[in-house]
Amino acid sequence: MTTLTPVEPRARFLDLIASEWLKLWSLRSTGWSLLLGTLAVVCLNLGTAWDHYRYWFQYDAEGRAGFVRNGMALGDAFTGNASMVLILCTAATGAVAVVGEYGSGLVRTTFAAVPARGSLMAAKLLVVAGVQSGFGALAAGLSFWSTQAVLAERGVGLPITHPGALRLVVASALLAPVCALAGAALGTLLRRSAVSVVGSVVLLLLLPSVLGDRRHLTAVLAHATPLHAWERLVAAGPAAVEPYPWTAGGAWLVYALWVLGAMVVAVVAVRHRDQ
């Protein structure tokens, strides 16, 4: 007599996404980190706009005209300091989303339940990217609305239809998932929370800050980083003279390549390394 062994159905990819979604939101730190990150980014941008509002009448006529002419209102909508905070928050969150399972040992149970490691990691990365895209959109959108509302009281606030405004909001919003996926890829490789977070800071913040644009090699390397790509996309006012200029299309391509590269690194690493 032949005994039939029941075979459990393979998990569908949508099931994996749903599982990773529940797993991410079951952590208290997820909601708090997103909330505090949004507040930090918006407050930094709003503080810069408030300074311009507060001291507006201390500028002379030429200074006020230069503020408008150089598109400084767009600069207030999302500042360089805010971009660094956003990069730090999202990269750390992306790394912890992966490393947390290794630290707790939950990854063994996860891989036992779903042997298809590549699919599981792809689902996790999609969930991380989706959540961070929402976070980036909220932070960038609130920053633009609040800063321009403050500056509008001085008659210099800009609408979203102003040239370059929509691109600034979109570029700032998408910087979040790009850096989160980079952090997740590092977390997959390093598998330690502290080391992964430090590695993300070095890769995404420190390295771009030391790469100059006066020599061709360092300029190319700088252009290949998300931070410099963001700076190119949000640049307002008269274009600065650069020894090695590049295009906005090239900056968008950098975003896309970092997303693709991070996903490939994470999926390949989880397939070919032990638990």
| pLDDT string in tens for the chain (275-residue length) | 455 554 445 568 888 899 889 888 887 788 889 999 999 999 999 999 999 999 998 888 888 888 888 888 999 999 999 999 999 999 999 998 888 777 766 777 777 777 788 888 999 999 999 999 999 999 999 999 999 999 999 999 999 999 999 999 999 999 999 999 999 999 999 888 889 999 999 999 999 999 888 888 888 999 999 999 999 999 875 556 678 888 899 999 999 999 999 999 999 998 876 55
Contact 182, 263 (CB under 8 A): no
Residue type, 66: G
Nearest to 92 by CA among 213, 221, 205, 200: 200
Contact 172, 86 (CB under 8 A): yes
150 burial via Cβ count (<10 Å: 0-12, 13-18, 19+): buried
Contact 233, 251 (CB under 8 A): yes
For residue 19, the model assigns a pLDDT of 87
Q: How far apart are CA 50 and CA 46, in angstroms?
A: 6
- Reading the block at residue 269, the tokens are 């690493």
The structure's pTM equals: 0.90
- Reading the block at residue 89, the tokens are 């928050």
115 burial via Cβ count (<10 Å: 0-12, 13-18, 19+): exposed
Q: Which residues of 52-62 are buried (b: 16+ CB within 10 A; e: fewer)?
A: bbeebeeeeee
Residue type, 131: V
Nearest to 218 by CA among 226, 232, 208, 205: 208
Q: How far apart are CA 219 and CA 228, in angstroms?
A: 10
Secondary structure of 185-199 as H, E, C letters: HHHHHHCCHHHHHHH
First to last CA, the chain: 39
Q: How far apart are CA 193 and CA 176, in angstroms?
A: 19
Going by the DSSP 8-state scheme, the letter that residue 162 receives in this structure is S
Going by the DSSP 8-state scheme, the letter that residue 184 receives in this structure is H
Residue type, 254: V
Contact 26, 124 (CB under 8 A): no
Q: Which residues contact 98 (CB under 8 A, 6 or more apart)?
A: 124, 184, 187, 188, 196, 266
- Reading the block at residue 234, the tokens are 């949000």
Nearest to 142 by CA among 232, 201, 78, 63: 78
Measured between alpha carbons, how far is residue 180 from residues 53, 60, 185, 198, 254 in Å?
33, 43, 9, 14, 15
